[in-house]
Structure 1
């Protein structure tokens, strides 16, 4: 067992520390005795708000319903019970849709790897009702995107054209596109990369060779990432969002509890410049969720500055940051950008800053040019950027 330094959690709300204690413990008798003291002075409305913000209410309900009566207000248990039931129904609906999508794509010879959703809930928790999912995320080869769009259109899905692109930068700047079914109220996200670019990551063919077949009972075969690839994806996804929702960290904790080839994990993280991100995830899981960090994981934790990266992520827990709802407060936006850059390796930073020389769609809005002259945005970009900054300061 590797000794972990303490993270500073002084400014984390008491209600969130209660949630963390609930997630750490499994022995019901010990929990009842311990929480009779810990629950004193808890703002239960804030507790519920945090449980939903972090998408942890299903697993919290499964733990709290076994604690002695009188410790938790009835309205709290009723709210959690109702949301647990709604989530179970939602996960069953997503499971059915996942099977249909997998089947029709297979019939058209499109390989599909499901990244999150019911397959991850079943794989990590053994019960799809214990994890929330708002949509279905899956990865396909980029060459099959057009064919996939035609299939989804026939199934009644409508594309959310939120991506604005110039000179085909969508292929590497972005990593997924969303589709919505207006009748089923189901959202799908088709990924052609695990993470937005510029970044290093395994090619689809490599991921497909290491795929696993889901044991979730379905009539059609459903595939997900191999264990080590899944850890890389979950760690990089959580880090990119500042671990602002603890559900992502709980996923990592559940992976740590499984049989993993940590030497393979280390090699993957190192090859694709994610070692510091993997180390950040392990530090957070060890401190916040009491994850068992073994000697096999020591090479990953040797990453420089990883403990400081873990401490930096506590900011998101202190302020209940929501990066998915606009507008994001200016101070949070600035902090998040700095944190994202701090997560990058030296080579990733070089790629990131070089990518800023490539035209952005906002350049076309600043100075509209005919499509055949879009190549001129390369030399013009620095001047257009300076113009926008000058205008912004003048307006301020």
Structure 2
């Protein structure tokens, strides 16, 4: 399919967040500015309505926009002097944090190369260089590296040798489990930098079944700290970033800014929709068009917006993701034991996951995954004849993990 550049839609000036706090409106306007959208009038109106600039500051950090949005905000003079000084300090700390993670990424990459372990750095600093041509633009909060499954244990040993360890509350890996958790998180003993080793892109491989061999064959390289490191091909990014961001309800507006950077031509939209349709995720990509157009003010082909308006699943996704931005504490990460966090993670997030890929085969596998957690199997070892009990154990396992 082809969408002509001339068919780009008119950009709405208003951000459709009815009933949302003015501080959140300002953060969305800042994300619009970071993505290259026409943010001037929207930013000024949102700033005039802000009642608490401390919440704006926390909201920018919560949505991962310190690297991307703060330099532009300081140039616009859209924030009070005291807030500008605070953001300048915050951005300085962000730069220092990214530099520390860059050093660790290079150290890990060299160790993996020396051991002959094929790997891809995804998200974080690698994506910042790939999409924004600047390692400091986003940085991320951790280092994500995808490893070929056959060498996963070797990679874990390398992290141990580099002074990383599993957090004390982590579930030990079980080599006998056919579908282990998709990643394990490792924390450096001194710096507390988090590294996540992935062996696939999603917990449920049926959601996005691109395997490591395919991604490795198509890999690109980016230069970080003077070293060329492998990362996911740009062609693959729109669908992957959409899956990651939507499943979390765009809890970090940063992910949407990334999509704005990669979906920048009619051809990239054509390719993204073709790739998404091949996986049964075309409704998900139509939702991305809605979010980029209405939230970030990006020009999106009019046909994409029209197709989204005609589909019930897209309209439902539009409604569901807004649930993550609602409420008085939208700018905070809620405690693990929080009821609102449970509703967001176990109700809204799951509803989004099922709406992203409305196919019977995927739903059956996802339901089986939801009813039988690998963490429960690790915590409660039952003989094979009692496997049917795991769905009954699920609520107790969830409570234990959050109350420990």
- Identify whether the pair has TM-score above 0.5, normalized to the shorter chain: yes
Q: CA deviation at 1:339?
A: 3.0
Give 1:90 deviation, angstroms. Answer: 1.3
Higher relative contact order (CA 8 A, sep 6+): 2
C-alpha displacement at 1:351, in angstroms? 1.3
1:192-231 alignment runs, 5 A limit: 192-199=199-206, 200-214=208-222, 216-231=223-238
2:258 maps to 1:251 = yes
Return the alpha-carbon distance in structure 2 between the equivalents of residues 35 and 380 of structure 1.
54
Change in CA separation of 1:222 and 1:258 when aligned onto 2, cut-off 3 Å: farther
**Aligned ranges 1:182-193 → 2 under 5 Å:** 182-193=189-200
Q: Alpha-carbon deviation of 1:105?
A: 0.7
Deviation at 1:82, TM superposition (A): 0.8
1:65-80 alignment runs, 5 A limit: 65-68=74-77, 72-80=79-87
Closer, same or farther: CA 323–39 of 1 in aligned 2, 3 Å: closer
Q: Corresponding residue for 2:4?
A: none
1:244-269 CA-partner distances (Å, limit 9, x unpaired): 11111111112123685444322321
Aligned to 1:264: 271
Aligned length: 380
Match of 1:344 in 2: 357
Equivalence for 2:118:
111
Which residues of 2 match residues 153-164 of structure 1 at below 5 A? 153-160=160-167, 162-163=170-171
Unaligned 5+ residue runs, structure 2? 1-7
Deviation at 1:229, TM superposition (A): 1.4
Structure with bigger gyration radius:
1
Q: Does 1:311 align with 2:319?
A: yes
Counterpart of 1:327 in structure 2 is 337
- In structure 1, distance between residues paired with 2:227 and 2:35: 38
Equivalent-residue separation in structure 2 for 1:229 and 1:27 (angstroms): 20
Residue 72 to residue 2, structure 1, CA distance change in 2 (3 Å): closer
How far apart are the structure 1 equivalents of 2:301 and 2:162? Answer: 47
Counterpart in the other structure of 2:152: 145
Change in CA separation of 1:198 and 1:210 when aligned onto 2, cut-off 3 Å: closer
Kept in 2, the 8 Å contact 1:22–1:60? The answer is: yes
TM-score (normalised: structure 2): 0.82
What are the equivalent positions in structure 2 for 1:161-176 lying under 5 Å apart?
Answer: 162-163=170-171, 168-169=176-177, 172=179, 174-176=181-183
Distance of 2:291 and 2:257 partners within structure 1: 10
Q: For 1:315, what is the secondary structure of its paired residue? A: helix
CA distances 1:303-352 after superposition (whole Å, capped 9, x unpaired) = 65213312221111123176674124244343333333333321211211
Q: Structure 1 pair 270/31, CA: closer, same or farther in 2 (3 Å)?
A: closer
